[in-house]
Amino acid sequence: LIVASPTWNIGELQSDWEGFFDELDNIDFKGKKVAYFGTGDQIGYADNFQDAIGMLEEKISSLGGTTVGHWSTDGYDFTESKAVKNGKFVGLALDEDNQAELTEERIKKWVAQLKTDFGI
C-alpha cells in the first residue's frame, strides 16, 4: 500500500483523512507493507513539517502495518516533525513551496527504493 497526505494548517490531517482516520481501526493491516509520502512547507511550518504522514504511519503501524520507504532528513530545514522516527522520515517528504526543484529526483530515488522494499 502507498498512503499519501499533505499536512494541512498547523500540523493537521487534510479533511479527507480526518473524516476517515477513525475508520482505519476497522482495517486489518497485519502482514501489509505500507509506504507513505506527503507534502508540506518546511520553512513556513517548521514545527510540524510532514506531521500528517507521521500521524497516519503511527495509526497504521499500531494496527499491524509494516512501514517501508523511510527517507533521510538530510537536505531539509525544519525544527520538528511527527513523521521522523529513528532519525528518518517515515516516508518521502516533498516540499513544493521551498524545494520544488528536488521533487522529481526525490520521487525517482524513492520509487527505486520502494521496488526493493516491496520486493518487485
pLDDT tens sequence across 31-66: 999 999 999 999 999 999 999 999 999 999 999 999
% of the chain with per-residue pLDDT over 90? 84
Q: How is residue 35 written as a grid cell?
A: 509506504
Sorted by where each begins, the domain ranges of the chain are 2-117
CB 80 within 8 A of CB 46: yes
pTM for the structure as a whole: 0.92
> E strands, the chain, where?
2-8, 12-13, 33-39, 66-68, 71-72, 84-85, 88-89, 92-94
Measured between alpha carbons, how far is 120 from 115 in angstroms, rounded to an integer?
Answer: 5
Fold of 2-117: Rossmann fold (3.40.50)
Predicted local confidence at residue 70, as pLDDT: 97
Instruction: List the beta bridge partners of residue 71.
Output: 89
